[in-house]
Amino acid sequence: MIEAELKARVHAPEAVMRLLDERAQARVEVYRDTYYDRPDGSLEKTGEELRVRTVHGADGTRTVLTYKGAAVDEESDSKPEHETVVEDADQAHAILRGLGHVEVIAFEKRCRNYDFTARGRQLLATLVRVPELNGTFLEVETLVDEDDVTAALDDIRAVLADLGIGAEDLTRETYTGAVTAQRS
């Protein structure tokens, strides 16, 4: 499956949050993301991602191992995504290091997640704050087959417009890149 996703900078986060609260109940969670690569940086060079994410929320803590392939859509950077819940975060990290991967960056994201249906699609909208970065971001995503990416992105753009987010607010900037730049 492809994660069709668009990300935007949010200039009026309280207004967007109110509109999302009308669509679904928020799940407030804190993500601890750790990204890995091969020692030669070859995953990043090809646009692939390997991540261990530990999520702390009201329902407890869970850890997810995720691999994202190279982008299939240049405008949005939508990527094939494969993920699974892992029982022990420390062991997941140990396995990746044991396979020769190196930690590239780790950081925290504070998220308000909203699951809802719009335009016939099951969507996840996430308001994101990264403590190291200025501003609030909104990600809207859905999982689709590769031949449905363009239509899904059009539907996501319509949902963003309903939330007061225009094309000029969209960004392809990655959190990993922004946090790395902030730390430099």
Residue 115 in tokens: 């699951």
Look at the chain and count its residues.
Answer: 184
Contact predicate 182/137, CB 8 Å: no
Neighbours of 61 (CB within 10 A): 12
Q: According to the model, what pLDDT value does residue 126 have?
A: 98
For 169, which DSSP code?
Answer: G
The three-state (H, E, C) secondary structure of 100-117, written as one string: CCEEEEEEEEEEEEEEEE
Q: According to the model, what pLDDT value does residue 142 have?
A: 98
Span 41-88, pLDDT tens digits: 999 999 999 999 999 999 999 999 999 999 999 889 999 999 999 999
Q: Which residue, among 169, 176, 97, has the nearest Cα to 140 in the 3D structure? A: 169
What stretches in the chain show pLDDT beneath 50? Answer: none
Neighbours of 129 (CB within 10 A): 17
Strands (E) in the chain, as ranges, are 2-10, 27-37, 49-57, 60-68, 79-86, 102-118, 121-129, 136-144, 170-171
Rounded Cα distance between 101 and 34, Å, is 12
Which pTM was predicted? Answer: 0.95
Q: According to the model, what pLDDT value does residue 74 have?
A: 86
Q: Is residue 148 helix, strand or coil?
A: helix
